[in-house]
Amino acid sequence: MRRVAVVNDVAGVARLQVQALREAGWEADLYDVRKPAARWPRWAKLLVSPLRLALYVPIVSRIRIGRYDFVHVHYVSHGVVGALSGRPYFLQAHGSDLHTNLRNPVMRWWSARWMRRARAIFYVTPNLAQYLTDFRAKSVLLPNPIDVGRFAGIPPPGRIENVLIFMRLDPVKGPATIFAVVSELAGVVSLTAIDTGALAQEYKTRYGDHAHFISPVAHADVPALLARFDATIGQMVQGVPGLSELEALAAGRVVFMAIDDALYPNDAPPVVRVSDGRDLIARLRELRHETEELQRISSDGREWIRRQHSLKAHATALIACYESVPDAG
């Protein structure tokens, strides 16, 4: 039986990965990484970098004495754990560890050290391939796992009345496209946004009369959160559904977002494609009372998640990658 140490839980993905591997008959253990000052500015994080490095030591020690075939590290900048483990290791990139960190000379140097030594680098959405051109030969698209059972009891929407802007309010997600037309949107549906991200305080001050802002919830509470809404609005810049959009689809919510169809030539996610704020308003008005169409979209979304992102599908793809990489065991 093969054994793998999975390091650093990012938005619950590593925990689901361990569950998927165990259900597939592998032995898998999770070693989470403490992240002091995670929400501090980058310059301030440098002040605690010695502490962060020290926190790797007990994790590395436990992995080194374990009889693991592989180490799988989430978030590229934590790759030092894999390198010090003495075992063949894989990296999994989640987004900002590529499109943000690789623009910074220090973080690019640090990250590249571990990327060069990794057996393979997994990336979770197809748009991230553009940041891995120097490592194309070892880069593998591995979509995030979704535990579809957590969302099974949520009924499909019969109309669209309550809409959740389900994204972190950061420029990289494109919330400006939505809030540019928020007053008109609020005349069509009831809007709620998550109070998180660099733009959250500004948007609460400017647009609090048009949208209700709520605190972020624990990942375990996401199904209950989504059950309160008929539809979600996702990111408007990157052209791919991230974890928030995937979980909304798993919950049978109608997801409005901008998507790059060129990134999905074979099996595109069944979201409602919108190009800008005016298009978003038009599509909401068109669909909000179309019960039959809304239920079809809901069903298609759930089926697509089962096909592309279920724990079984994830484990199958992941194990195939582990076993296909030369000298990885």
Is 9 a residue whose pLDDT tops 90?
A: yes
**What's the CATH superfamily of 3-145+310-324?**
Glycogen Phosphorylase B; (3.40.50.2000)
Q: Residue 53: what pLDDT?
A: 73
Domain ranges of the chain: 3-145+310-324, 148-309
Is 48 a residue whose pLDDT tops 80?
A: no
166 and 251 Cβ atoms separated by less than 8 Å: no
314 and 21 Cβ atoms separated by less than 8 Å: no
Beta-carbon-side half-sphere exposure of residue 15 (alpha carbons within 13 Å): 9
Instruction: Tell me which residue has tokens 């597939």.
Output: 24
Higher pLDDT, 258 or 36: 258
Cβ partners under 8 Å of residue 10, min gap 6: 74, 75, 94
Q: What is the DSSP letter of 203?
A: H
Is 212 a residue whose pLDDT tops 80?
A: yes
Tell me which architecture the domain covering 148-309 has in CATH: 3-Layer(aba) Sandwich (3.40)
Q: Residue 45: what pLDDT?
A: 58
Look up residue 157 and give its amino acid. P
Mean pLDDT over each residue of the chain, to the nearest integer: 92
The pTM assigned to this predicted structure is 0.85
| Cα–Cα dist 195/102, whole Å | 27
Q: Residue 292: what pLDDT?
A: 97
Q: E strands along the chain, which residues?
A: 3-7, 27-31, 70-74, 89-93, 121-123, 139-141, 162-165, 190-194, 212-214, 231-233, 254-257, 272-273
User: Is-same-fold flag (3-145+310-324; 148-309)?
Assistant: yes
| Cα–Cα dist 313/310, whole Å | 5
Is 39 a residue whose pLDDT tops 80?
A: no
Q: CB 49: neighbour CB atoms within 10 A?
A: 12
Token digits of residue 6: 């999975």
| Cα–Cα dist 132/121, whole Å | 9
Q: How confident is the model at residue 324 (pLDDT cuts 50, 70, 90)?
A: confident
Per-residue pLDDT reduced to its tens digit, 187-209: 999 999 999 999 999 999 999 99
